[in-house]
């Protein structure tokens, strides 16, 4: 691939802008400045620098964020910050999108990607990728509520029954559940449907991928194995 095209694919701006960066001597590979935009590259294990900052070539990006409270999953956040505020322009230029949504007050594992197929694989209603949530509840969780969640509840304006699996009481007012769909405010509405209320919600896992060891607001690139784990379906 041509150097100018590679830079453009990685989010460094228009083809023209990338040509200019290269001609200005801003780009180097293995400590050698390359000022020819038409320089041909081998993309395998390619590392490069732009203005002294190191980058790795990635055909697509898969990101795990530990989402903090007070961040919305939309670009034009209205009352809160946007999760996209947590990423630099280079990544934003690649058109990364949230894989599904978390409410502004929900914390935990949020995936972002510029791979449309991956996004589709995880969010398509028929794919049923499991999501594990932990929550603090307003009232103690009763055995009856656990049973009802496992049997399934109806949600207003939604078709079908919404059931949870692997429902585990972690403490009197703490619950962990796995859900396999992803309708609007699903977990909060399921808890209301059984007569309780979510006070705090945290997503701990998607597919077989547990939230990596990240502080709130921190993120990392997923490796190939982690990408496969996120897509994992147990049924
Ligand atoms: N269910 C909810 O109610 N909120 C979330 O953020 C995610 C799942």
Average pLDDT taken over every residue of the chain: 96
133 pLDDT above the threshold of 90: yes
- Residue 103: CB within 6 Å of ligand 1? yes
- Taken as a whole, the chain contains a residue count of 235
29 and 143 in a single domain? The answer is: no
- Contact status, residue 114 vs residue 97, Cβ threshold 8 Å: yes
pLDDT at 77: 87
Tell which residue, 214, 148, 155, has the closest CA to residue 177.
148
Ligand 1 close to Cβ of residue 58 (< 6 A): no
Same domain for 66 and 78? yes
Residues 135 and 199 in one domain: yes
Residue 180 belongs to domain with CATH number: 3.30.70.1560
- My answer on whether 115 and 214 are in the same domain is yes
The per-residue pLDDT for range 6-40, each reduced to its tens digit, is 999 999 999 999 999 999 999 999 999 999 999 99
Same domain, 35 and 83: no
Contacts of 163 (CB under 8 A, 6+ apart): 149, 150, 151, 152, 153
Same domain for 154 and 175, yes or no, is: yes
Determine whether the shortest distance from the Cβ of 188 to ligand 1 is under 6 A: yes
Q: Record the tokens describing residue 173, joined without a space.
A: 């007012």
Whether residue 235 is contained in a domain is answered as no
Helices within 40-177 (DSSP H only): 89-93, 116-123, 143-151
pLDDT of residue 78: 86
Decide if pLDDT at 102 tops 80. Answer: yes
Contacts of 42 (CB under 8 A, 6+ apart): none
Relative to the CA of 101, which ligand 1 atom is closest? 6
**What atom in ligand 1 is closest to the CA of residue 198?**
3
Q: Tell me the two tokens of residue 204.
A: 């701990």
* Protein residue with its CA nearest to atom 7 in ligand 1: 102
pLDDT of residue 235: 58
The pLDDT confidence band at residue 234, using thresholds 50, 70 and 90, is: low
Place of tokens 């597919």: 207
For residue 105 and ligand 1, the question of a CB distance below 6 A is answered with no
The answer on pLDDT for 134 being more than 90 is: yes
Evaluated on CA atoms 69, 74, 79, 85, the torsion sign reads: positive
Pocket test for ligand 1, best of 103, 110, 184, 205 (most atoms within 8 A of CB): 103
Query: CA 135 to CA 125: how far, in whole Å?
Result: 23
Block residue for tokens 């989010």: 11
Q: Is 105 domain-assigned? A: yes
Average pLDDT value for residue range 116-138:
92
User: Within this chain, do residues 183 and 145 fall inside the same structural domain, yes or no?
Assistant: yes
Q: How many domains does the chain have?
A: 3
Q: What is the CATH number of the domain that holds 31?
A: 3.10.290.10
| pLDDT on residue 127 | 77
User: Are residues 16 and 44 located together in one domain of the fold?
Assistant: yes
- Tens-place pLDDT, residues 184-211: 999 999 999 999 999 999 999 999 999 9
Which range marks the domain in which residue 9 is found?
A: 3-56
**Residue 126 binned pLDDT confidence (cut-offs 50, 70, 90):** confident
Distance 68 CA to ligand 1 centre (A): 14
Q: How many CB atoms lie within 10 A of CB 147?
A: 11
């Amino acid at each position: 691939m041509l150097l100018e095209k590679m830079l453009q694919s990685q989010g460094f701006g228009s083809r023209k802008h990338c040509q200019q960066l290269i001609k200005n001597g801003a780009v180097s590979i293995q400590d050698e400045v390359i000022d020819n935009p038409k320089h041909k590259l081998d993309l395998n294990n390619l590392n490069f620098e732009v203005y002294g900052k190191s980058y790795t070539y990635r055909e697509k990006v898969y990101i795990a964020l530990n989402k903090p409270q007070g961040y919305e999953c939309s670009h034009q956040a209205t009352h809160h910050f946007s999760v996209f505020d947590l990423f630099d322009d280079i990544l934003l230029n690649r058109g990364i999108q949230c894989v599904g949504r978390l409410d502004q007050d929900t914390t935990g594992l949020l995936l972002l990607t510029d791979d449309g197929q991956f996004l589709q694989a995880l969010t398509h209603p028929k794919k049923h990728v499991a999501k594990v949530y932990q929550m603090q509840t307003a009232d103690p969780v009763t055995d009856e509520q656990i049973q009802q969640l496992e049997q399934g509840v109806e949600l207003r304006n939604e078709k079908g029954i919404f059931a949870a699996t692997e429902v585990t009481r972690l403490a009197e007012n703490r619950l962990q559940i796995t859900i396999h769909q992803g309708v609007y405010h699903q977990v909060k509405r399921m808890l209301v449907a059984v007569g309780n209320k979510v006070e705090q919600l945290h997503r701990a896992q998607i597919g077989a991928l547990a939230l990596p060891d990240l502080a709130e607001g921190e993120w990392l690139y997923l490796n190939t194995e982690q990408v496969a784990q996120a897509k994992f379906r147990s049924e």
